[in-house]
Amino acid sequence: MWHAAVELAREHGVYSVAHPLRLDYTGLKKRLGGVSHRRRKARKPAFVELIAPPSAMLRDCLIEFESLHGGKVRIQWKAAAPPAPIGAPMRG
């Protein structure tokens, strides 16, 4: 995990990586080894889509999200397929 955090810190800055991942800022900075890194303003992702391979069989699915402020969302369904996107034609 530290290796991945160092790579991200090189691109986005130590604070931008350490804070959301709750990593030790000083420890991450030391792992950079004094190598200069670029700082960019952190961008929040607008949307993330996860797509399973077509051959995957869905039985139960649970997705949980937690915000930096402690808010939580839990999505759970039990079906042969995930729910259709809003506005998509119904199957069956």
Q: Kindly give the confidence (pLDDT) of every residue in the chain, 92 residues in length, as a single tens digit, with 9 standing for 90 and above.
A: 888 888 888 888 888 889 888 899 899 888 888 654 555 566 777 777 777 666 556 567 788 888 888 888 988 877 666 566 666 666 55
Is residue 25 domain-resident? yes
- The domain containing residue 27 runs over which residues? 2-31
Whether 23 maps to a domain, the answer reads yes
pTM of the model: 0.37
The pLDDT score that the predictor gives to residue 55 is 59
Domain count for the chain: 1
Percent of residues in the chain assigned helix, strand, coil, to nearest 5? 30, 15, 55
pLDDT at 81: 63
d(CA 85, CA 29): 42
Predicted local confidence at residue 2, as pLDDT: 84
**Euclidean distance between CA atoms 82 and 17, whole angstroms:** 32
